[in-house]
Structure 1
């Protein structure tokens, strides 16, 4: 069974088990339908068969003594797998079922119609069986499918309490899914329609409200919105409460985007002005166009939610679904979803190393370890594309652990080969919140037999300022181990004098945004010169990132900068290439342009 099939089966079983039907008492409502099926087909056996992981369990049965049979080679199991109608005129003539337990018990004829939920999960079959081979008329098949629909109606009726949200009194997401399916079936195929989703507040606003307000605040927000929506939409149309703070509706047939969107904007502007929560909650609206007969309900709902999220940054707080924006977000989300597997693989992640050059001597004195990812389907993904999301996820700790372990192994190999360089490693804000990070770092160094000053940790200003008290305590603990610390991307964050004074840093790395183009920008030159002087006066060594030409290097040399890093010297390279590159004196490399050095490298 493929991974996709396993996932589908897992979701199907989950849907079945959530209904709490298995191993329940007989029900006259189901038995009535089963008796009707046996009578219509004039057959001795009929059943409502639910397909569990390894058995067929009968919620209702006529002409059958036992309550379940093995799933293996059971026709109802095939119905559950395919979600399609199955008719077997003669089991003994069927190559797949002739050796099934049913055939062995004397059953010759089978017909089963799938029991499918609104979400598309097949629970089992409404089936009829006979002891003689027989043909089936189209009218009989239609009747069997209708009976299967009646069974599902009974199942859903038993869960009707799950169709209305108790707080808002509006139909919920399950009802939206069912009504959407009805629209798909009843309206002309290809009809242009609009799905609308109203989000009552941004995630940040909800988070703040949860911390500062009584729980009744959210209840009041929802009930007020539900009351307003009911009044606006009217009694003849439905509004659905699809998540805690989200409502959905389908625009009337014939509503065109170019006229309906301004109408929504006017209504939402009026509603925001009248709402008691207007100063602490910002409603947004997402619109997802779709064609009836060709749309998947869950996809349309997701698209409307995407548009509502995009609307946060618009002036009107209303946005139409954008496939381009969605594709871009999916491209960002896919790496996050797959990064866990990458950490466990042997060939997706690797470190490359960019030299750090002493400006005074021209010697290569260090290397920054940089993470690279070759995704199995997306190909090479740049760190700027995946690291920001990883650092905000639960994978940040594991990612840093992988980088640290790999970098320490490489540092050990280089030292064993007689190459003594300092290794710079980036860590995230999440790592500074780990209570045992400094201890684990020290243990890693001892495990590889490395002195603490053989590595340097690079931390951005923004990472420290997320939780400054905890971060500074951890930085002090790291500094106490003897590991060097560097402020990365200096100048892009807070950069206050008090911050520089408190940070136990050895190195300040000036961000490349201040260095690239420095040779023709007098204001940048003044700013960078001040950064260098200020940092050195506070006892920090200064590294300039993004050095790409001789003119910039010359300015940095005159300004007294200690180190440089950038494409002028080398792009990040594989570990195997680094020793050969380092043996060439950097001072002898033609540095009038990056192109000259790239040619040298090749």
Structure 2
């Protein structure tokens, strides 16, 4: 076999295997055609025969018990090789086929019409067979060719159902994956190409549309976008509909980022002006460079999707895949994925405790419980990294429940040791939306024999702003139980003064961003002094976070601040270390020399 023939056969087999027809269950749609063939020819045997590398496999058959025969000297194999109609009036009179297994089984007559794809690949034959020699009329041959066309129409329809999106009419993700593999095979290795993903709307916009509009809104959005994209790209290139509101394409060969990005920006601006949804949907575009021969299809698609997400906040809403940003996102996803196991483990999560100091007496009067995570492979993961991820996930409820239960057990242990402190715990927006949160909190305290006022919940303004009506209702219920409430990170929220009036809070915690560097910043000093006075006038105790030097502590004492928390006194400590640290008697604070020595542990 020549090299040209080998290449043709390789492509033919590739086309056959892509259709996923071999070794599949029987189908009534195909069986109906074979029954029709036996009726038209008045013959006992008919088959839809697909020519594999070394066998003829029957997708449908009448009058044949076995599902396949060897390809060698099988007439259908010759049809596949030639892509032409083949009629053998008598196999015993044919010099080539008289010794074939088919003739040996008693078959004397054969007629087969080729099954040819739109690309010109012959998959096999629609064939009829008889046990006696016979002639074939032109009408019969025409009918056999019509039956072969019916078989191919059925094959193409079934294939299209798995490759074409019914709404947009564009090739889907399965087709994108197949064509990507063809690109890898057919183009030169090392060639640089660009994958582009167009996301029609942000997740938030899609969520709003789902609540406000009927389902046809998204359908119309997709249909309009598909029509525009098809027209812009042209008939010679494919656009793929890869998810509900996302489309993908491959930039032409030789296109560089420098040349392509301005073109994309221009086209997307033009498309946005024409779109009916331009005021309620923001399309974003992600571009992922890749190298032929060194790229995985799904990885490239994911990278383009990642870039499209980054493009939400980018200029012109177009972004190029960033390996660093992707690595950060991957790490966040890993943390989120692993945190469920951490909650169930016995040794990954723990609480540490940072003291709160009464500025007037120097006594430790409280402790803030802070969550720490020792990941089994990543090591210590800082709370500033994992807590924001957890708070936006479905694990927020379980995390707060774990922290509260652990803090309450520690509180019970300290009280049994004679150490009476108020324990502060941070809660998230998700907790304020739990209908039974206040009841569960009170039940946990009762179970451990703890008075409600020994616990304090710290809530940020941003948590309240998520759903202010429900949040305020829950805060009122919590306050009614006797559990104390604190406004955390005061001054960094949306409308601090408004919430300061309305929240049933006992404590206001001034965020450390206002406290760090306070000793050298007169503007900060004026602002913090005002915060302290205003909060106390409204009946709140004031805690300053982030106190790291004596000068700041002296300023806070002169400004009348009630409590302080920060590295000047101690870093967050393990429970047993905190127990050893805390009982040292406190003294008045006329100056640094009179402060208890534990206040300067660093």
Assess if the C-alpha contact under 8 Å between 1:192 and 1:290 holds in 2.
Answer: yes
Moved more, 491-500 or 512-521: 491-500
Instruction: From the superposition, tell whether residues 47 and 231 of structure 1 become closer, same or farther in structure 2 (CA, over 3 Å).
Output: closer
Mapped to 2, the partners of 1:428 and 1:156 lie a distance apart of: 54
Assess if the C-alpha contact under 8 Å between 1:238 and 1:249 holds in 2.
Answer: yes
Report the alpha carbon displacement of residue 158 of structure 1 after superposing the two structures with TM: 3.6
Report the alpha carbon displacement of residue 276 of structure 1 after superposing the two structures with TM: 2.5
Instruction: From the superposition, tell whether residues 586 and 330 of structure 1 become closer, same or farther in structure 2 (CA, over 3 Å).
Output: farther
The answer for the alignment partner of 1:339 in structure 2 is 339
Report the alpha carbon displacement of residue 255 of structure 1 after superposing the two structures with TM: 1.3
Mapped to 2, the partners of 1:566 and 1:255 lie a distance apart of: 55
Residue 516 (str. 1) matches residue 516 (str. 2): yes
Moved more, 197-206 or 549-558: 197-206
The answer for the alignment partner of 2:405 in structure 1 is 405
Instruction: From the superposition, tell whether residues 586 and 163 of structure 1 become closer, same or farther in structure 2 (CA, over 3 Å).
Output: farther
Instruction: Specify the structure having the higher radius of gyration (Cα).
Output: 2
The answer for the alignment partner of 1:267 in structure 2 is 267
Moved more, 28-37 or 444-453: 28-37
Mapped to 2, the partners of 1:158 and 1:341 lie a distance apart of: 43
Instruction: Show CA shifts across 1:570-602 (max 9, x none).
Output: 000100100111133455999979xx9899648
Assess if the C-alpha contact under 8 Å between 2:581 and 2:598 holds in 1.
Answer: no
Instruction: From the superposition, tell whether residues 540 and 590 of structure 1 become closer, same or farther in structure 2 (CA, over 3 Å).
Output: closer
TM-score by length of 1: 0.74
The answer for the alignment partner of 2:283 in structure 1 is 283
The answer for the alignment partner of 1:206 in structure 2 is 206
Instruction: Show CA shifts across 1:325-382 (max 9, x none).
Output: 1011112221111111110011110000000000000000100000000111111111
Mapped to 2, the partners of 1:178 and 1:342 lie a distance apart of: 39
The answer for the alignment partner of 1:297 in structure 2 is 297
Mapped to 2, the partners of 1:459 and 1:417 lie a distance apart of: 29
Instruction: From the superposition, tell whether residues 584 and 240 of structure 1 become closer, same or farther in structure 2 (CA, over 3 Å).
Output: same
SS of residue paired to 2:325 = helix
Mapped to 2, the partners of 1:444 and 1:155 lie a distance apart of: 64
Instruction: Give the alignment of 1:144-159 within 5 angstroms.
Output: 158-159=158-159
Assess if the C-alpha contact under 8 Å between 2:487 and 2:509 holds in 1.
Answer: yes
Assess if the C-alpha contact under 8 Å between 2:361 and 2:588 holds in 1.
Answer: no
Assess if the C-alpha contact under 8 Å between 1:230 and 1:239 holds in 2.
Answer: yes
Mapped to 2, the partners of 1:281 and 1:165 lie a distance apart of: 22
Mapped to 1, the partners of 2:327 and 2:376 lie a distance apart of: 18
Instruction: From the superposition, tell whether residues 343 and 36 of structure 1 become closer, same or farther in structure 2 (CA, over 3 Å).
Output: same
Assess if the C-alpha contact under 8 Å between 1:591 and 1:597 holds in 2.
Answer: no
Assess if the C-alpha contact under 8 Å between 1:199 and 1:247 holds in 2.
Answer: yes
SS of residue paired to 1:570 = coil
TM-score by length of 2: 0.74
Instruction: Give the alignment of 1:4-83 within 5 angstroms.
Output: 40=54, 61-62=67-68
Instruction: From the superposition, tell whether residues 531 and 166 of structure 1 become closer, same or farther in structure 2 (CA, over 3 Å).
Output: same
Instruction: Show CA shifts across 1:368-414 (max 9, x none).
Output: 00000011111111111111121111110000000011000111111
Mapped to 1, the partners of 2:348 and 2:553 lie a distance apart of: 35
Mapped to 2, the partners of 1:165 and 1:488 lie a distance apart of: 50
Instruction: Give the alignment of 1:131-146 within 5 angstroms.
Output: none
Mapped to 1, the partners of 2:345 and 2:497 lie a distance apart of: 44
Instruction: Show CA shifts across 1:455-491 (max 9, x none).
Output: 1111111111211111111111111111111111111
The answer for the alignment partner of 1:562 in structure 2 is 562
Mapped to 2, the partners of 1:235 and 1:37 lie a distance apart of: 32
Instruction: Give the alignment of 1:478-489 within 5 angstroms.
Output: 478-489=478-489
Mapped to 2, the partners of 1:231 and 1:25 lie a distance apart of: 38
Mapped to 2, the partners of 1:24 and 1:569 lie a distance apart of: 78
Give the paired residue count: 479
The answer for the alignment partner of 1:97 in structure 2 is none
Report the alpha carbon displacement of residue 208 of structure 1 after superposing the two structures with TM: 2.1
Instruction: Show CA shifts across 1:146-183 (max 9, x none).
Output: xxxxxxxx999745312111111111111111111111
Mapped to 1, the partners of 2:382 and 2:597 lie a distance apart of: 23
Report the alpha carbon displacement of residue 60 of structure 1 after superposing the two structures with TM: 8.3
The answer for the alignment partner of 2:140 in structure 1 is none
Assess if the C-alpha contact under 8 Å between 1:362 and 1:585 holds in 2.
Answer: no
Mapped to 1, the partners of 2:548 and 2:591 lie a distance apart of: 9
Report the alpha carbon displacement of residue 420 of structure 1 after superposing the two structures with TM: 0.9
The answer for the alignment partner of 1:385 in structure 2 is 385
Mapped to 1, the partners of 2:592 and 2:203 lie a distance apart of: 51
Report the alpha carbon displacement of residue 541 of structure 1 after superposing the two structures with TM: 0.7
Mapped to 2, the partners of 1:464 and 1:588 lie a distance apart of: 37
Instruction: From the superposition, tell whether residues 588 and 571 of structure 1 become closer, same or farther in structure 2 (CA, over 3 Å).
Output: farther
Mapped to 2, the partners of 1:228 and 1:296 lie a distance apart of: 28
The answer for the alignment partner of 1:414 in structure 2 is 414
Mapped to 1, the partners of 2:230 and 2:163 lie a distance apart of: 17
Instruction: From the superposition, tell whether residues 330 and 592 of structure 1 become closer, same or farther in structure 2 (CA, over 3 Å).
Output: farther
Instruction: From the superposition, tell whether residues 456 and 600 of structure 1 become closer, same or farther in structure 2 (CA, over 3 Å).
Output: closer
Report the alpha carbon displacement of residue 24 of structure 1 after superposing the two structures with TM: 6.0
Instruction: From the superposition, tell whether residues 381 and 357 of structure 1 become closer, same or farther in structure 2 (CA, over 3 Å).
Output: same
Instruction: From the superposition, tell whether residues 280 and 41 of structure 1 become closer, same or farther in structure 2 (CA, over 3 Å).
Output: closer
Instruction: From the superposition, tell whether residues 478 and 60 of structure 1 become closer, same or farther in structure 2 (CA, over 3 Å).
Output: farther
SS of residue paired to 2:299 = helix
SS of residue paired to 1:397 = helix
The answer for the alignment partner of 2:173 in structure 1 is 173
The answer for the alignment partner of 1:225 in structure 2 is 225
Mapped to 2, the partners of 1:327 and 1:35 lie a distance apart of: 47
Instruction: From the superposition, tell whether residues 467 and 235 of structure 1 become closer, same or farther in structure 2 (CA, over 3 Å).
Output: same
Assess if the C-alpha contact under 8 Å between 1:547 and 1:565 holds in 2.
Answer: yes
Mapped to 2, the partners of 1:173 and 1:266 lie a distance apart of: 26
Unaligned regions of 5+ residues in structure 1, if any?
Answer: 1-17, 49-58, 64-153
Report the alpha carbon displacement of residue 257 of structure 1 after superposing the two structures with TM: 1.6
Q: CA RMSD in A?
A: 3.1
SS of residue paired to 2:252 = coil
Report the alpha carbon displacement of residue 311 of structure 1 after superposing the two structures with TM: 1.2
Report the alpha carbon displacement of residue 442 of structure 1 after superposing the two structures with TM: 0.8
Assess if the C-alpha contact under 8 Å between 1:549 and 1:591 holds in 2.
Answer: no
SS of residue paired to 2:315 = coil
Mapped to 2, the partners of 1:390 and 1:482 lie a distance apart of: 28
Mapped to 2, the partners of 1:318 and 1:494 lie a distance apart of: 30
Unaligned regions of 5+ residues in structure 2, if any?
Answer: 1-19, 35-45, 60-64, 70-153
Assess if the C-alpha contact under 8 Å between 1:164 and 1:171 holds in 2.
Answer: yes
Report the alpha carbon displacement of residue 281 of structure 1 after superposing the two structures with TM: 1.7
The answer for the alignment partner of 1:326 in structure 2 is 326
The answer for the alignment partner of 1:454 in structure 2 is 454
